[in-house]
Amino acid sequence: NQRLAPRLARRLQLAQLAVIALTAANAALVAFGVAVWVPALLAATAALEYHVAYTALGERLPAVNAATSAITRLLLWWDGLSTIQRRKPACKERLVMSMEAAVMLKQRAYIDGALAVLDTSHATHHGGQDLGEAAAAPGRSDPKAARRAKARSAPRPAKAV
Are 14 and 54 in contact by the 8 Å Cβ rule? The answer is no
pLDDT on residue 127: 55
In terms of Cα–Cα distance, which of 72, 61, 20 is closest to 41? 20
**Residue 135 pLDDT:** 45
Q: Give the tens place of pLDDT for each residue, 70-101.
A: 999 999 999 999 999 999 999 999 999 999 99
Burial of 118 (0-12, 13-18, 19+ CB in 10 A): exposed
* pLDDT at residue 124 in the model: 59
* Rounded Cα distance, 71 and 63, in Å: 12
Q: What is the pLDDT of residue 107?
A: 84
- Please determine, for residue 132, whether its predicted confidence score (pLDDT) is greater than 70: no
Q: Which residue did the predictor score with more confidence, 10 or 152?
A: 10
In order, the DSSP letters of 122-134 are HHHHTTT--HHHH
Q: What is the pLDDT of residue 96?
A: 93
Residue with the larger pLDDT of the pair 126 and 15: 15
pLDDT (0 to 100) of residue 121: 64
Q: What is the mean pLDDT of the chain?
A: 80
